[in-house]
Amino acid sequence: MGYPPLHAPVQAATPSEVKSIFLPKDGPSLRIGTSAVASEQAVHLDANLLLGHHCAVVGSTGSGKSCTVAAIVDGLLDHGIPNGHIVIFDINGEYAQSFATSTQRGKKTRPLVLGPKPGTNSGLFLPHWFMNNEEHMSLLKASEGVQAPVLQRSIADARVAGASTNLELLRLQNLLSSMGIIEGAFSNTKSGSDTTFAQLDGMTTLVNSQVGQAGACVAQWSQIKVILDSGTPQASVPNAQWKPLTAPQRDILARMFVAIRKEISAAFGALGMGSAQAAPDFDAPVYYSLQELCDFFLPNRIQMEQANDSKIAGYVATLQMRLSRLLADGRYDFITRVEKHEDPLGSYLKALMGVDPTGGNSTSGWPAASHYQAQGAAYGDGPSVTIYDLSLVANDVLENVTALLGRILFDFAVRSQPRAAHPVMLVLEEAHRFIPSRLDSIGGASRSAAIFERIAKEGRKFGLSLLLASQRPSELSETVVAQCGTVIAHRLTHEADQRLLRHATALSSRALLDQLPSLAQQHALVTGVSTGVPVAVRVRDVQNPPKSDDPKFIDIWSDAQKLAALPEHIDNVVREWQGNLP
């Protein structure tokens, strides 16, 4: 097809013809705004194609991206969608005010704001036991050779213990602790007998109380009793202060402890924690204590594996240091210090999907029950909107949080039957922070980028849709941008950003992208599967937009009262910053 010749007749399009260009013919649509060249004509996008093929909203800071995201949400709310589910990762704390219960948008939805301060009180928590094998390895940077296998089995052991209220396991741990205390007394040249006597007496009492009870380790407990009843009289340790253990006593105790540890190892096997036993699913989101992993299960696994390789402890020492540092880092408390509670994964997914995680129970044990109930009291019948306010999450913690949240959503969607029974739209503000194009230190995609790339490639069929917003599309993963069926581009002045969009969009619309550097605020170019033709749009006005407007510098600087209030403002910020709030 060629261009029309000079002086060829031209006919003006009729209103119905113009409408047919900007209004999808079949299925539901959402109004994004009006045509930039025909201001009386509303521009609609095919809602199913927009959501089903992902969407990217890009543009320089201040060009109107956040308002466009709000306009898309408003366009969806024009439909009756009580079973709609929207999850927003809000890195700048912009969206809570847009969904306040006093706003029209808040009245049409069921908003739940989690955060901004990480912790169970604000609802912004993410239990560490939700992590799968890959996420554990990534968080603790476990090397493939020795550290990863040892850590995997240690976590599996901890999950076995955490999934039960196994009294046998607790008593086996106590036996190991008592033997460790006695062995510590071996090197005491001034005392030790009294400590050893007390520990042996306690071990005997504990074993006698367990022998004869039903359990998985009946045979092992009986044999431990035989060893103690035989070895303790031979050692003949007196209950005397300031008396060290003799060499024969240490020899008898050491041989006795070797035999007891052999039985304990067999008992662990009977409980599903032995080297020869099949471990539980490494990815299963079953509770375990991270502190117990550090203090007991990892050292115990190292001790077990050292029978095959005496250098194991040296290989795993750096991993133990990283785990200890993680537990000592208060920024991770909302992940590592979440207490065990009933149905943790189920209640978490319910909150994520807009369902009451407390089941209407005012005394629910869900950690953020009061936070949910305070917001849920005014809920109507609209779609759920869950806002993760991540503005106070530390930068080096952020990737682990978003990767885990994204993976949980994806796994939930994949496991749901029938497929796509409850579709979710996932909004990623400042998406280049979650899905960077750069590689990690070992040349692979970051954990967060990897999961969102998978969602971009596979999420459509499972009902998981991405809505990305970014001011630097060139810093976004090209894989994700290429999977976005609709691109809404505001003003972009950087050549690298423009170049990426030219490669990611259809050839027919590349000429349109030449307008990008000169677009006015609130204007955008829309191209992709959800619109019949690439179109320049003035995005619809939105009420209560996200809090992303520019500060009025001169007005604020001219306010003398604000200057007087500055000391108190600084004090308040510092108290919260340091965690010293009353």
| Cα dihedral 323/449/404/425 (nearest 10) | 170
pLDDT at 276 over 50: no
Regarding whether 254 and 222 lie in a shared domain, the answer is yes
* Contact yes or no for 225/284 (Cβ under 8 A): no
Regarding whether 315 and 185 lie in a shared domain, the answer is yes
Tell me which residue of 399, 386, 389, 385 sits closest to 451, measured CA to CA: 399
- The per-residue pLDDT of the chain, averaged, comes to 86
CB atoms within 10 A of CB 574: 10
* Contact yes or no for 90/390 (Cβ under 8 A): yes
**Looking at per-residue confidence, does 220 or 446 come out higher?**
220
Number of H helices, E strands in the chain: 23, 11
Regarding whether 391 and 321 lie in a shared domain, the answer is no
- What pLDDT does residue 511 have? 63
Length of the chain in terms of residues written: 582
For the residues 88-116, what does the mean pLDDT come to? 92
Structure confidence at residue 582 as a pLDDT band (50, 70, 90): very low
- What pLDDT does residue 136 have? 92
**Looking at per-residue confidence, does 510 or 360 come out higher?**
360
Q: Does 487 fall in a domain?
A: yes
For the residues 268-293, what does the mean pLDDT come to? 72
3-state secondary structure of 102: coil
Regarding whether 81 and 179 lie in a shared domain, the answer is no
H-type alpha helices, 382-446: 395-415
**Looking at per-residue confidence, does 304 or 569 come out higher?**
569
CA gap 408, 474 in Å, rounded: 27
Regarding whether 536 and 419 lie in a shared domain, the answer is yes
Reading across the β-sheet that carries 110-114, which strands appear in turn? 42-46, 29-35, 535-539, 523-528, 486-489, 55-58, 464-470, 424-429, 85-90, 384-389, 110-114
CA gap 437, 197 in Å, rounded: 63
CA gap 121, 115 in Å, rounded: 9
**CB-based contacts of 252: which residues, under 8 Å, 6+ apart?**
231, 234, 235
Provide the number of structural domains found in the chain.
2
Domain final residue pick, 336, 360, 379: 336
pLDDT at 462 over 70: yes
- What pLDDT does residue 231 have? 94
CB atoms within 10 A of CB 128: 22
For the residues 453-477, what does the mean pLDDT come to? 92
Q: Does 564 fall in a domain?
A: no
CA distances from 224 to 210, 228, 276, 533 (A): 11, 6, 21, 79
Q: Does 581 fall in a domain?
A: no
pLDDT at 16 over 60: yes
For the residues 53-68, what does the mean pLDDT come to? 91
Rg (CA), the chain: 31
Residue 429 main-chain phi, psi, to 5 deg: -80, 145
pLDDT at 23 over 60: yes
pLDDT at 399 over 90: no
Regarding whether 528 and 439 lie in a shared domain, the answer is yes
User: What domain range is 233 assigned to?
Assistant: 133-336
DSSP assignment of 335-394 equals HHSPPP-SSHHHHHHHHHTTS-TTTT-TT---TTHHHHHHHHTT--SS-EEEEEE-TTS-
Regarding whether 222 and 272 lie in a shared domain, the answer is yes
Q: Does 387 fall in a domain?
A: yes
Regarding whether 318 and 453 lie in a shared domain, the answer is no
Domain final residue pick, 318, 336, 354: 336
Identity of the amino acid at 573: V
**Looking at per-residue confidence, does 420 or 279 come out higher?**
420
Lowest mean pLDDT among 177-181, 507-511, 544-548: 507-511
Q: Does 27 fall in a domain?
A: no
Q: Does 13 fall in a domain?
A: no
CB atoms within 10 A of CB 18: 15
Q: Does 9 fall in a domain?
A: no
Structure confidence at residue 119 as a pLDDT band (50, 70, 90): very high
For the residues 369-387, what does the mean pLDDT come to? 86
Identity of the amino acid at 554: I
- What pLDDT does residue 581 have? 46
- What pLDDT does residue 466 have? 96
Regarding whether 383 and 281 lie in a shared domain, the answer is no
Regarding whether 304 and 231 lie in a shared domain, the answer is yes
CATH number of the structural domain spanning residue 415: 3.40.50.300
For the residues 172-191, what does the mean pLDDT come to? 88
Regarding whether 280 and 154 lie in a shared domain, the answer is yes
pLDDT at 439 over 80: no
Structure confidence at residue 510 as a pLDDT band (50, 70, 90): low
Structure confidence at residue 165 as a pLDDT band (50, 70, 90): very low
- What pLDDT does residue 507 have? 45
Structure confidence at residue 272 as a pLDDT band (50, 70, 90): low
pLDDT at 22 over 70: no
Whether a cis peptide bond, with omega within 30° of 0, leads into 418 is: yes
DSSP single-letter state for residue 127: -
Percent of the chain clearing pLDDT 70 (strictly above): 91
Regarding whether 469 and 332 lie in a shared domain, the answer is no
Domain final residue pick, 336, 365, 400: 336
- What pLDDT does residue 443 have? 45
CA distances from 477 to 79, 90, 311, 443, 448 (A): 32, 19, 41, 14, 11
Q: Does 18 fall in a domain?
A: no
- What pLDDT does residue 563 have? 86
